[in-house]
């Protein structure tokens, strides 16, 4: 797979090729219209390098320009206000001074040990993306091409991962105790637990465990929350009896999940909850939610390099000009 640029009018075609394109892994990410795109995968701290190829399509034709540059951009876009994007990373390399092109040219570029503080994400109301942006500056209109990249945030096993024990009930009618083996799960993990019925005086018809994703955008009174049930596990059909214990095993690998993301650049959060739902024979619903943390497990080769320890998905600051690598 290689980055192949499209056409930019009748004069010039722009291509970008990464130096490690033949060996670098790719990843898939859904677009806002539901399609799945495959792009090159990067991790925090990795360098991004390659060549920009400018192909003059008409022999003897001159392309005058005011300079050529490439940018590495990390950007958050709220779908409700696409005109107001926020860049938390913007690194620039100048490839050529003002001049003219009369033949094909290639330019090397490298962004060294680039900090990529967040994971790529496309949700219901927000998108966080990384891309390379090549610009051939011209007097009337610039020639611009963007090349999408995907970034994953990795972690190793958390030092502390307590189990979850909770009770839920209706006075003199229902008393249930449930237990989950952990509070933090990697994206290929298995949620293991048990449900204990201590008091049952209502007729329960159905019981299920749901994994709910909540995407919150904005801050304060303008916060918007989108809730999506991403996984369901049928625990039982029929009425339980006092003293009964029911095991739970929910495999996460088969679902399209992201890591937990909290207060990403003060723009949005993505959080997950286990929702225990009971339905009685009169179709009344009883439920209890408990938040869990999802994290992306580092592949074996990267774990051996001690890529990073587990960190709770707390907010990370944006790169300021002083913190950015020198050009």
CATH of 162-297, one of 3.30.565.10, 2.60.40.640, 3.40.50.300, 2.160.10.10: 2.60.40.640
Q: Mean pLDDT, to the nearest integer, of 156-160?
A: 80
Fold of 10-149: Immunoglobulin-like (2.60.40)
d(CA 148, CA 139): 26
- H or E segment at 89? strand 86-96
- DSSP assignment, residue 79? G
Confidence of residue 257 (pLDDT cuts 50, 70, 90): very high
SS3 state at 74:
strand
pLDDT value at 325 more than 50:
no
SS3 state at 81:
helix
Confidence of residue 312 (pLDDT cuts 50, 70, 90): low
What pLDDT shows up at residue 291?
Answer: 93
- When the pLDDT of each residue in the chain is averaged and rounded to a whole number, the result is 84
48-102 per-position pLDDT tens digit = 999 999 988 776 678 889 999 999 999 999 887 777 789 999 999 999 999 988 8
Q: Mean pLDDT, to the nearest integer, of 103-110?
A: 93
pLDDT value at 231 more than 60:
yes
What pLDDT shows up at residue 59?
Answer: 67
What are the distances in angstroms from CA 67 to CA 17, 97, 99?
20, 5, 7
Domain ranges of the chain: 10-149, 162-297
- Which tops the pLDDT comparison, 326 or 44? 44
What pLDDT shows up at residue 140?
Answer: 84
pTM for the whole thing? Answer: 0.82
pLDDT value at 195 more than 80:
yes
- Which tops the pLDDT comparison, 283 or 255? 255
DSSP 176-210: EEEEES-SEEETT-EEEEEEEEEEE-S-EEEEEEE
**Is-same-fold flag (10-149; 162-297)?**
yes
What pLDDT shows up at residue 301?
Answer: 64
């Amino acid at each position: 797979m290689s980055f192949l640029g499209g056409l930019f009018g009748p004069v010039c075609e722009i291509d970008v090729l990464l130096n490690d394109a033949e060996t670098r892994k790719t990843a898939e990410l859904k677009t806002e219209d539901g399609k799945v795109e495959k792009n090159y995968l990067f991790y925090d701290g990795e360098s991004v390098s390659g060549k920009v190829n400018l192909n003059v399509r008409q022999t003897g034709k001159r392309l005058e320009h005011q300079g050529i540059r490439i940018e590495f951009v990390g950007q958050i876009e709220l779908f409700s206000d696409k005109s107001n994007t926020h860049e938390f990373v913007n690194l620039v390399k100048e490839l050529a001074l003002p001049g003219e092109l009369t033949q094909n040219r290639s330019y090397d570029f490298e962004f060294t040990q680039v900090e990529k503080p967040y994971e790529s994400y496309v949700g219901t109301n927000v998108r966080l993306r990384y891309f390379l942006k090549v610009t051939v500056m011209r007097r009337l209109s610039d020639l611009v091409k963007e090349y999408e990249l995907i970034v994953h945030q990795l972690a190793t096993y958390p030092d502390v991962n307590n189990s979850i024990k909770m009770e839920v009930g209706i006075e003199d009618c229902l008393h249930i105790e449930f237990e989950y083996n952990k509070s933090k799960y990697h994206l290929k993990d298995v949620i293991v637990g048990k449900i204990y019925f201590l008091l049952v005086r209502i007729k329960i018809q159905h019981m299920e465990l749901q994994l709910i994703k909540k995407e919150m955008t904005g801050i304060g009174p303008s916060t918007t929350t989108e809730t999506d049930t991403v996984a369901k596990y049928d625990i039982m059909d029929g009425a339980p009896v006092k003293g009964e214990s029911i095991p739970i095993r929910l495999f996460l690998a088969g679902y399209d999940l992201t890591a937990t993301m909290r207060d990403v650049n003060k723009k949005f959060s993505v959080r997950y909850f286990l929702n225990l739902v009971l339905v009685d024979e009169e179709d009344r619903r009883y439920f209890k939610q408990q938040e869990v943390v999802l994290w992306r497990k580092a592949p074996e080769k990267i774990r051996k390099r001690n890529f990073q320890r587990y960190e709770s998905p707390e907010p990370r600051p944006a790169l300021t000009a002083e913190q950015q690598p020198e050009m």
